């Protein structure tokens, strides 16, 4: 009889996982999933930022070509056929030619309140869709912008 009891005991332990084993496996899967999601979001944001930078460089090249061909900056992005272009977050790109004193007052400014460009401003409002003229404003920190007359294109937080 002791043999039969031992066989029954083995059959009970071999049926499945214990509750602790299942909870440990679920916790491990949850941790791995959260790491994967945060990595994916970071990668997606980098891709969107890079796309916005490339768009700004391309639009700037068209604006510069228009300036070279006509001797004047376009009044808006519609004048160069780019009015419907949206950034990766769904916002329209902002363009401001700095040819009048009023436009120069509305220009994007660095931490010393000096305009970023002397010819025109071109930027994306970034993921939050909000912006302000000085880069020190919280709403401007995630903007993707053109500065130093095109020598810098990138996030405002890096300028």
Q: Taking the C-alpha atoms of 66, 71, 75 and 76 in order, what is their torsion angle to the nearest 10 degrees?
A: 20
pLDDT surpassing 90 at residue 49: yes
**Residue 122 falls within a domain, yes or no?**
yes
pLDDT range class, residue 10, cuts 50, 70, 90: low
Which distant-in-sequence residues (6+ apart) come within 8 Å of 150 by Cβ?
A: 57, 60, 64, 117
42 located within any domain: no
Q: What is the pLDDT of residues 109-156, one digit of tens each?
A: 988 889 999 999 999 999 999 998 889 889 999 999 999 999 999 999
pLDDT of residue 12: 54
pLDDT tens column, 89-120:
999 999 999 988 888 888 999 888 899 999 99
Asked whether residue 14 is domain-assigned, the answer is no
Give the confidence band of 16 by pLDDT, cuts at 50, 70, 90. Answer: confident
pLDDT at 124: 95
pLDDT of residue 63: 96
Question: Residue 24 has what pLDDT?
Answer: 92
pLDDT at 13: 53
| 46 lies in some domain | no
In the chain, how many domains are there?
1
Phi, psi of 96 (to 5 degrees): -140, 110
Report if residue 17 sits inside a domain: no
How far apart (Å, rounded) are the C-alpha atoms in residues 14 and 137? 63
Q: What is the mean pLDDT of the chain?
A: 88
Would you say residue 64 has pLDDT above 60?
A: yes
**pLDDT for residue 84:** 86
pTM: 0.75
Q: Which domain holds residue 56?
A: 51-158
Kindly report the CATH number assigned to the domain that includes residue 101.
Answer: 3.30.700
């Amino acid at each position: 009889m002791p043999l039969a009891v031992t066989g029954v005991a083995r059959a009970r332990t071999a049926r499945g996982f214990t509750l602790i084993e299942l909870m440990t496996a679920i916790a491990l899967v949850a941790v791995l999933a959260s790491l994967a999601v945060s990595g994916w979001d970071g990668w997606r944001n980098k891709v969107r930022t890079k796309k916005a930078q490339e768009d700004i460089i391309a639009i700037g090249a068209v604006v510069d070509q228009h300036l070279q061909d006509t001797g004047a900056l376009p009044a808006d992005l519609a004048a160069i056929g780019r009015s419907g272009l949206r950034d990766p977050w769904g916002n329209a790109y902002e363009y401001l030619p700095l040819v009048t004193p009023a436009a120069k007052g509305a220009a994007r400014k660095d931490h010393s309140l000096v305009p970023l460009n002397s010819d025109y401003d071109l930027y994306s409002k970034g993921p939050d869709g909000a912006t302000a003229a000085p880069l020190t404003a919280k709403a401007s920190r995630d903007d993707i912008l053109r500065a130093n007359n095109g020598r810098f294109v990138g996030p405002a937080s890096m300028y």
